Amino acid sequence: MLSRRQTMGYGGAALVAAMAGRAGMAATLKGDKPLVFAHRGCSALRPEHTLGAYAKAIEDGADSIEPDLVATKDGVLVARHENEIGGTTDVAGHPEFAGRKTTKTVDGQAITGWFTEDFTLAELKTLRAIERLGPLRPESRGYDGQFQIQTFDEVIDFVAAQAAARGRVIGIVPELKHSTYFAEIGLPLEDRFLAMLGAHVYAKRAPIEIQSFETANLRYLRQRIGKPANVKLMQLFDEFAAVPADVAAGGGAVSYGEMATPKGLATVATYADVAAPWSRSIIPLDEQGHFVKPTTFVTDAHAAGLLVRLYTFRPENRFLPADLRAPGGDDVRSEAGSIAEMRRYLALGIDGLFTDDPALGRKAVDGA
């Protein structure tokens, strides 16, 4: 990846002008319209990974919704971004679970809190979701306490019902979280996941893209399922200096940055269909928060035959480039700025994007 000193920043006025429309947009890998993926549902406006967030995302035009998956003590896959649930549920307010608070090492990081693998599904169903970012998202916070934790089974049923009611196919983009960790504690995710997909007629025809930051689980899934027409495997890329958890656990040292080279992407293409990096590794920002020259990741991935999806676009000022922020503080929403940011990346020919606010993603892609 180019260093900040090796690249030249864009001027603010020129940048906004360049983003004003979709003229000059590079072609996607297959010439298809880029897809809008609802990151944890419509997580900008509803507590993440709840039926409320998924419903809002679908209403706002998302092509697919994303359930991140972790395991319960009794082996059920549930939709949570992490297995630690202290920040996304009201578990801290349940005195009966006070003794479950603990510290664990997950993917090499010590984390203190409450963990899904220490609860049965029945116990998790007594909890209610809360907004992870608190006062940053007041509309979402207003829904605190209204939604349960959902199983993957329930999410598929919900999406199938929504698709039938709306007369359009809605994709599902599940992410398997911490596969190596869960295997080490006797709760491997992959076969449970495949059994659930196989149990649903809708999952056999709807677009499914299975994500992971790890590599071994994707290789395993490729061997197990082959290449069904409706299923893709998506290799997520963390910051390029990091090493995938499964690689590190096995004593390896191949980083995401090495995986992002033309040679590395050719290897990824032997087991995955999609490369999904963090947006800032594709167009970095300089020290002042301005866009700099794009990297060659998109063209390199396309040359390897990989689709490119980017994560994650968020509408609040604190997450946006300096040129695109609205007047006010870090917590102010800049809808126009978020749309402009997404269009900057769409101009590179990416095949899809993850956004916390699918209505804005829809406008960015459709040119509204």
189-225: burial string, b at 16+ Cβ within 10 Å, e else: bbebbeebbeebebbeebbbbbbbbbbbbbebbbeee
How crowded is the C-beta side of 161, counted as CA atoms within 13 Å?
Answer: 9
Nearest CA to 109 out of 206, 216, 243, 298 is that of 243
- CATH number at 244 reads 3.20.20.190
CA distance 232 to 209: 5
Cα gap 323→318, rounded to integer Å: 12
**Dihedrals φ, ψ of 53, to 5°?**
-70, -40
Any domain includes 140? no
Asked if residue 142 belongs to a domain, the reply is: no
> Tens of pLDDT along the chain (368 residues)?
333 223 323 333 333 333 434 445 789 999 999 999 999 999 999 999 999 999 999 999 999 999 999 999 999 999 999 999 999 999 999 999 999 999 999 999 999 999 999 999 999 999 999 999 999 999 999 999 999 999 999 999 999 999 999 999 999 999 999 999 999 999 999 999 999 999 999 999 999 999 999 999 999 999 999 999 999 999 999 999 999 999 999 999 999 999 999 999 999 999 999 999 999 999 999 999 999 999 999 999 999 999 999 999 999 999 999 999 999 999 999 999 999 999 999 999 999 999 999 999 999 999 96
Whether 121 maps to a domain, the answer reads no
Sort 97 into a burial class: Cβ within 10 Å, 0-12 / 13-18 / 19+: middle
The CA–CA distances, whole Å, from 20 to 144, 242, 279, 298, 320 equal 37, 35, 19, 22, 16
Q: Count the residues in the chain.
A: 368
What is the spatial distance between Cα 303 and Cα 301, in angstroms, rounded to a whole number?
5
Looking at residue 245, its amino acid is A
- Rounded to whole angstroms, the Cα distance separating 207 from 141 reads 31
Q: What is the pLDDT of residue 26?
A: 84
What domain range includes position 189?
4-82+147-366
Domain-located, residue 298:
yes
pLDDT at 113: 98
**Residue 23 falls within a domain, yes or no?**
yes
Is residue 335 in a domain? Answer: yes
Domain assignment of residue 135, yes or no: no
Residues contacting residue 290 through CB under 8 Å, at least 6 positions apart: 9, 10, 12, 15, 321, 322, 323
Domains identified in the chain, total number: 1
Establish if 117 belongs to a structural domain.
Answer: no
Nearest by Cα to 320 from 277, 279, 281 = 279
